[in-house]
Amino acid sequence: MRKLCPNLDREDGLDTVLEVPLPELQDTAATAFSGVRRRRRSGTVKAWMRSHAADQQHRRREPSRADVQIMLGVMGAPLVPQPVEARKAMAAGHDIKEEPLEVSKARYVMEQYVAAAGGEAALGAATSMYAMGNVRMSTTTSSNKGGRAAKKSVGEVSGGFVVWQKKPELWCVEMVVSGGTKLSAGSDGKVAWRQTPWQQAHASRGPPRPIRRCVQGLDPKSTADLFSSAAWVGEESVDGEDCFVLRVDADRSALDARSSDDVEVVRHALWGYFSQRTGLLVRLEDTHLLRVPTEISSASEIQNLYWETTMESSIGDYRAVDGINIAHAGRTVVSLSRFTGDAEAAGRKMRPCTTTMEETWSIEEVDFNVAGLSRECFLPPRDLLVSSSKQQQQKKKKDNAAEAALCAKSVVKAKKALVPAVTGLGWFGPAKVVAVDDVDAADDSKDSTRASTR
């Protein structure tokens, strides 16, 4: 049995580990009764050791490759609902009567946030940003069948990440977790892309958007630009802190640009909780709903399958770096649920399957105005696959239909050929022939030939 003893030589030294024999395993009296009791105690200790070793093995069990894929795919490099525009500071004589009350309140909250983050001068002086940190991810699957809720713990992975950003639309992130699995993602201002070991580099649909990891406390300027078009929705207490709540919804045009014939983005909204005491961002929440039409083979009907992703991030440990307050720690909880039927009517408790993932991150190093960080550093891979959106697919279908109609009009009518009407001996008498149009009556000729042969 191992026992920790304090280090008497040094107070700040590590404890000494001593190997102490188990009292139950020592020889006592040599009587039969004591031997039986000793064997019982020994069996009890061995059973406890086996169960303890099994618990340690279960805790340290690494997740499967599919679990690592879904954790990196969902929490590795998520994007904000829509592209951001440069924020305009409120003028001294700005008339709030020209805009709705919810918008003017949100703008005042953003003014307080910019001042608390470091001020307009400090945020404007930072033209680029670099951050390095650690991350730990875990996932749990819960099912609700027959009114019984069951949870299954899959495992956890740990690793690190590096983020570079020059502008909100120019960014790049690399994340490596235990096992050597690497995720790379970025944006060059024209297209946002992602690359993993199990999937070739592919582009995201729609216009490029900033990465969510920078908005959750790493880049206050991007956060202010994102919530400059938000609406004030109320006040709420978060961990005993009174906060203003702002909401940003993706435009219909942005959702259509991200949709395709197979997947439709129904909504994507983002909520920011700003402390009334400090003015800083303390929580970030967003929800993402997808609709996937699926065909039921038995009934030959189309059924809508919904996937909803909900992310809640707690942000804290703000420290000043070059006069800018940066969050150095946080925790994100992700809920990925799948259900059928009406998305608005379905409650979360009635959903049959839900996957819960958790990410704990900490920042080790942050720096601004990185020397040598040019636009060429954010170029996508050469083998990038560009996926077309729903609008582009519909336009392509119309162009193909117009081209097919044009080709059909310009087709020259084929010549008539002589085809035998009946089969038989070719040398027995004159052969009977019939005129068949190769283009217009190809199917009719097949039917008539089959009928004549019968």
DSSP state of 219: -
**Pairwise CA distance, residues 231 & 221, whole Å:** 18
| Residues 376-409: tens digit of each pLDDT | 999 988 888 776 545 555 555 555 566 666 655 5
Q: Are 247 and 231 in contact (CB under 8 A)?
A: yes
| Residues 11-40: tens digit of each pLDDT | 666 666 555 444 444 444 444 444 544 444
Helix (H/G/I), strand (E/B), else coil: 188: strand
DSSP state of 374: -
Q: Are 225 and 86 in contact (CB under 8 A)?
A: yes
380 has which bridge partners? none
Is residue 279 left, alpha or beta, with left meaning phi > 0 and alpha meaning psi from -120 to 50? left
- The residue that leads in pLDDT, 357 or 50, is 357
Q: For residue 398, what are its two tokens?
A: 């119309």
Question: How distant, in Å, are the alpha carbons of 242, 319, 334, 416 from that of 238?
Answer: 6, 20, 18, 82
pLDDT for 125 beyond 90: yes
Phi and psi angles of residue 426, each rounded to the nearest 5 degrees, phi first: -70, -25
pLDDT for 49 beyond 70: no
pLDDT classification of 147: cutoffs 50, 70, 90: low
Looking at residue 400, its pLDDT comes to: 58
Burial 222-245 (b: 16+ CB within 10 A, else e): bbbbbbbbbbbeeeeeeeebebbb
Torsion of CA 386, 390, 391, 393, to 10 degrees: 70
DSSP state of 422: S
**Pairwise CA distance, residues 443 & 437, whole Å:** 10
Q: For residue 201, what are its two tokens?
A: 């580099």
Looking at residue 383, its pLDDT comes to: 81
Q: Are 233 and 246 in contact (CB under 8 A)?
A: yes
Looking at residue 136, its pLDDT comes to: 95
Percent of the residues in the chain that have a pLDDT greater than 70, as a whole number:
63
pLDDT for 43 beyond 60: no
pLDDT classification of 271: cutoffs 50, 70, 90: very high
Residue with tokens 């892309």: 193
pLDDT for 1 beyond 60: no
In this prediction, residues 189-194 reach a mean pLDDT of 92
194 has which bridge partners? 185, 202
Highest mean pLDDT among 144-158, 191-205, 276-290: 276-290
| Residues 303-340: tens digit of each pLDDT | 888 999 999 999 999 999 999 999 999 999 999 988 88
* Residue-averaged pLDDT of the chain: 76
Element (H, E) at 149: strand 148-167
Q: Are 209 and 79 in contact (CB under 8 A)?
A: yes
pLDDT classification of 213: cutoffs 50, 70, 90: very high
150 has which bridge partners? 143
Looking at residue 148, its pLDDT comes to: 58
Radius of gyration of the chain from its Cα atoms, rounded to whole angstroms: 33
Looking at residue 199, its pLDDT comes to: 85
Q: Are 65 and 351 in contact (CB under 8 A)?
A: no
Does the predicted model carry a pTM greater than 0.75? no
Instruction: Please spell the DSSP secondary structure of 25-42, one letter per residue.
Output: GS----SHHHHHHHHHHH
In this prediction, residues 148-171 reach a mean pLDDT of 82
